[in-house]
Amino acid sequence: MSRQEIMNKINQIAQAEMHDKAAYHELKNEQDRLSDTGIDSFDFIMLYMKLGEQFGIDNKYFKEGLSDSNPTMNVLIDFIEAHLNKAA
């Protein structure tokens, strides 16, 4: 899976989890931060749960593995790729 495909999936899930979908701002580059989408703290939790389901990553790894509570797309994609490679 390419980095762009992962970014597209993150955008898709983040938008689906937002309470106010009209306020959603798509993440377009790897320097964008998750909060740039407009999601709130509850949406973050749901996003990580859905990403875990989508990519087969146990939710505990998101809490342990992401030291930044508002990571850039680059950091989040690196994290996902690292866990995908472990599972492969």
Q: Which pTM was predicted?
A: 0.85
Q: Which residue in the block uniquely carries the two structure tokens 């990553």?
A: 57
Is residue 86 over pLDDT 80? no
Domains and CATH numbers, the chain: 3-87 (1.10.1200)
What's the CA gap between 49 and 67, in Å, rounded? 17
- Cα–Cα distances in angstroms (integers) from residue 14 to residues 18, 86, 88, in the given order: 6, 24, 25
With 80 as the cut, is the pLDDT of residue 2 above it?
A: yes
Query: Measured in whole angstroms, how far is the alpha carbon of residue 54 from the centre of its chain?
Result: 11
pLDDT at 35 over 70: yes
- CA-CA distance, 45 to 4, in Å (whole number)? 22
